[in-house]
Chain A
Amino acid sequence: MVQNIEELSQRVGHDVKFMEVCGTHTMAAFRSGLRQLLPKSVRLVSGPGCPVCVTDPSYLDAAIELCGRSDVILATFGDLVRVPGTDTSLERERAAGANVRIVYSPSDALLLARECPSKKVVFLGIGFETTAPTIAWAIWRAAHDGVQNFSVLCAHKTMPQAMDALLRDKELRIDGFLCPGHVSVITGAHIYRFISERYRIPCVVSGFEAWDILKSIEMLLRQLAEGRAEVENEYSRSVKEYGNEAALRLMDEVFEPCDTVWRGIGIIPGSGLAIREKYARFDATKVLGVQFPEARVNPLCSCGSVLRGAASPLDCRLFGHPCSPTHPIGPCMVSGEGVCAAYYKYEGVAA
């Protein structure tokens, strides 16, 4: 397969840049070492695919403020606890006595609310189409069962609008997208058609094994070599053309599109999911009066450019020293799916 890639890249005849927009792809590419097997003319860059990394720092500050309230239990996926906000992190606040619980699914947060009726349980709802249905389900269930002390601080995002925003950025010049397998299981492969049709850029929905990614790169190169721009599905064992309809219906029942801020990219219209008015009593911003004060971030932190695929972590002046997984400054160094963490862990500081 590597040889096919080599031959196809020669047929294409110029340098190409492929972007993946999924944290699991980022980690798989680094962990398997497949980046070194690619010809020099094929560059694989990571886009805004790590849910923790694209979360605006003001959201974290709001969460940190919430966890300091004595009547609140904050339930979150583990990845968020170490991400630094303006002054502190959830991990530090927990050590100082705040009630922060790590859960592995929103339904566990709902269970926690049932077990602690005297507390307000707030779930930090971040992520893409992959996690949104499970959170929609928890909200729907809470409404159905009349749970009073459960709410979600919702910062969900949807991927196609972000890909569109990246494509409008003339500076980037992407030659092909490796489309995220997990997101596509929910949404279906059809949501990327606008990329191939409007921008004439090839897309391949990819699975997560190293072989899947190599195969998808081969498929992208073949499209380029043959002058095609289509949405192809390498991950057809899990991804259907129109996705998981039950999950999509549930999402639509609970959420509506909204404008939202992506770290490093800014506001992208229609790229967020807000809780519909019908379920407003589960919206933490409304029931708990959460504010999103402007956050201060280290001005040298390049996470924003890294997330757009415009800079490599190695271009960042903080990378390695002082920013490392032990003492992270930006989210891309903290998250298990962050690009900086991947460079640091798998290629070494000196890479």
Chain B
Amino acid sequence: MRRDRILLAHGGGGSLTRELIEKLFLARLENPLLKPLDDSAVLVMGGKAHAFTTDSYVVRPYIFPGGDIGKLAVCGTINDLAVMGARPLWMSLSFILEEGLLLADLQRIIESIGATAAEAGVQIVTGDTKVVERGKCEGLYINTAGLGEIVAPNRLGAANVKAGDAVIINGPIGEHGVAVMSQREGIAFQTNVVSDCAPLWPLVKAILDTGAEIHAMRDPTRGGVAAAVCDIARASNVGIRLREDALPVSREVRGACDLLGFDPLTIANEGKVLVFCRTTDAAKVFAAMRENPLGKHACVIGEVCEQPPGTVTLRTTIGGERIIDMPTGEDLPRIC
């Protein structure tokens, strides 16, 4: 059987995405800056380290509870900079618009881009606009790039996590995915869940300001917390143990997941950050997070150990243990 076409699952942020990147992109485009495959590349310019990232947004529907594609584009881009310990400075925006898109919708989206950028202290400094025939895209897609200045004292990255680190998250998981899903034709259901979409830089800055020894941060977007921790366990060659009873999941998200057969651990977030820091600094980081509006519900959800390397396990509420595997990535196309 030849797999000679792109499948929706290639875009899911799980093992098929990974396979595509490694076998096709990295195999032909590899260089030392690309190779770490972190959320941003780290570039040294004028003696200073900068984080540089790019992202595209195709979420459907483009306006959803708690946000819209514009707010998502700004948050997603600068969060990829923030988790590298970088203060977001500048962004580009490219729009692909469908013939017939309501100008009022576009205006609303641009306004939310402006408001989110202002809130996060990032400037939109360049952009582009293309229009395609009706039916050739769905409303609009946005492509972005972001550039930030790294202020973290040490290099953060998926490969830098060490045995003995604590794993902390800033609040309940799965909300973005469930909020978007609840609006989809065919599954639409009544829920109070709104997307957690938010710019994380203020929270990340508060964490860095504690002076704690942070080894890595990740915003668990597509593929959810499961994909993010699996990635890190593999890149750092460590074991990660999570505790089910410590994982913050709201009743609404759990209910929606039970109904649709999803695992909250694999559902996308857009305002969450996983922090891996030295255990002795965990209390300091945790306290700083709890004081920030974006970290009020922060929880220590697990720890990093030496064994078994490259593997994530979950201690279940009834006392069993199971493996958390990289999601394959087909559950929900176009969540961001």
Q: Do A and B come from one complex?
A: yes
Residues of A within 8 A of B (CB): 2, 30-37, 78, 81-82, 84, 87-88, 91-92, 94-96, 102-104, 108, 210-211, 214, 325-326, 336, 344-348, 351
A36 to B313, CA, bound (A): 14
Contact of B15 among A34, A88, A103, A326 (CB under 8 A): A326
Name the A residues within 8 Å of B3 (CB-CB): 92
Q: In the complex where A92-B5, A95-B5 touch, is A326 in contact with B322 (Cβ < 8 A)?
A: no
A34 touches B320 (CB 8 A): yes
Contact of A210 among B263, B314, B317 (CB under 8 A): B317
A129 to B328, CA, bound (A): 29
Name the B residues within 8 Å of A2 (CB-CB): 319
Q: In the complex where A30-B322, A87-B1, A326-B15 touch, is A95 in contact with B316 (Cβ < 8 A)?
A: no
Decide yes or no whether B9 CB sits under 8 A from chain A. yes
Q: In the complex where A95-B8, A102-B186, A104-B187 touch, is A33 in contact with B319 (Cβ < 8 A)?
A: yes
Q: In the complex where A95-B7, A104-B187 touch, is A36 in contact with B320 (Cβ < 8 A)?
A: yes
B322 touches A33 (CB 8 A): yes
Name the A residues within 8 Å of B5 (CB-CB): 92, 95-96
B320 touches A32 (CB 8 A): yes
Q: Mark B6-22, 1 if CB is under 8 A from A, else 0.
A: 11110000011001000
Name the A residues within 8 Å of B318 (CB-CB): 32-34, 37, 210-211, 214
Q: Can you report 9 A-B residue pairs in the complex whose CB atoms are below 8 A from each other?
A: A31-B322, A82-B9, A91-B8, A95-B5, A95-B7, A326-B15, A326-B328, A345-B325, A348-B325
B320 touches A347 (CB 8 A): no
B1 touches A84 (CB 8 A): yes
Contact of B1 among A34, A88, A210 (CB under 8 A): A88
A33 to B245, CA, bound (A): 13
A348 touches B323 (CB 8 A): yes
Q: In the complex where A92-B7, A103-B186 touch, is A344 in contact with B321 (Cβ < 8 A)?
A: no
The secondary-structure label for the interface of chain B is loop
Name the A residues within 8 Å of B263 (CB-CB): 31
A336 touches B261 (CB 8 A): yes
Chain B residue with the shortest CB-CB distance to A337: B261
In this complex, the interface size class of chain B, counting residues with CB under 8 Å from chain A, is 20 to 34
Q: Which 7 A-B pairs have the closest CB atoms?
A: A33-B320, A95-B5, A346-B322, A33-B316, A345-B325, A348-B323, A325-B328
Contact of A33 among B6, B19, B187, B321 (CB under 8 A): B321
Decide yes or no whether B311 CB sits under 8 A from chain A. yes
Decide yes or no whether B138 CB sits under 8 A from chain A. no
B16 touches A326 (CB 8 A): yes
A351 to B325, CA, bound (A): 13
B325 touches A344 (CB 8 A): yes
Decide yes or no whether B281 CB sits under 8 A from chain A. no
List 11 additional contacts besides A33-B319, A35-B320, A345-B323; criterion CB under 8 Å.
A32-B322, A33-B315, A34-B320, A36-B320, A37-B319, A91-B330, A95-B8, A96-B5, A210-B316, A211-B318, A326-B16
Name the B residues within 8 Å of A102 (CB-CB): 186
Minimum CB–CB distance for B307 against chain A, Å: 13
Of A34, A82, A96, A346, most buried by chain B (CB within 10 Å of CB) is A346
B321 touches A36 (CB 8 A): yes
Chain B residue with the shortest CB-CB distance to A104: B187
Minimum CB–CB distance for A24 against chain B, Å: 8
Chain B residue with the shortest CB-CB distance to A329: B1
B311 touches A348 (CB 8 A): yes
Name the A residues within 8 Å of B186 (CB-CB): 102-104, 108
Chain B residue with the shortest CB-CB distance to A213: B318
B316 touches A91 (CB 8 A): no
B317 touches A32 (CB 8 A): yes
A31 to B317, CA, bound (A): 10
A81 to B7, CA, bound (A): 11
Name the B residues within 8 Å of A214 (CB-CB): 318
B320 touches A95 (CB 8 A): no
B320 touches A82 (CB 8 A): no
A117 to B131, CA, bound (A): 31
Minimum CB–CB distance for A231 against chain B, Å: 26
Chain A residue with the shortest CB-CB distance to B314: A33
B6 touches A95 (CB 8 A): yes
A332 to B262, CA, bound (A): 18
Name the A residues within 8 Å of B9 (CB-CB): 82, 91
A336 to B330, CA, bound (A): 11
B323 touches A37 (CB 8 A): no
Q: In the complex where A33-B316, A91-B9, A108-B186 touch, is A347 in contact with B1 (Cβ < 8 A)?
A: no
A326 to B263, CA, bound (A): 18
B6 touches A347 (CB 8 A): no
Of A34, A37, A104, most buried by chain B (CB within 10 Å of CB) is A104
A44 to B172, CA, bound (A): 33
A344 to B15, CA, bound (A): 14
Minimum CB–CB distance for B285 against chain A, Å: 29
Minimum CB–CB distance for A105 against chain B, Å: 8
Chain B positions 284-336 with a Cβ under 8 Å from a chain A Cβ: 311, 314-323, 325, 328, 330
B322 touches A347 (CB 8 A): yes
A347 touches B323 (CB 8 A): yes
A2 to B6, CA, bound (A): 48
Chain A residue with the shortest CB-CB distance to B316: A33
Chain B residue with the shortest CB-CB distance to A30: B322
Of B8, B187, B325, most buried by chain A (CB within 10 Å of CB) is B325
A104 to B332, CA, bound (A): 13
Name the B residues within 8 Å of A346 (CB-CB): 322-323, 325
Minimum CB–CB distance for A347 against chain B, Å: 6
Name the B residues within 8 Å of A103 (CB-CB): 186
Chain B positions 268-284 with a Cβ under 8 Å from a chain A Cβ: none
Name the A residues within 8 Å of B321 (CB-CB): 33, 36
B328 touches A37 (CB 8 A): no
Chain A residue with the shortest CB-CB distance to B188: A104
Chain A residue with the shortest CB-CB distance to B18: A326
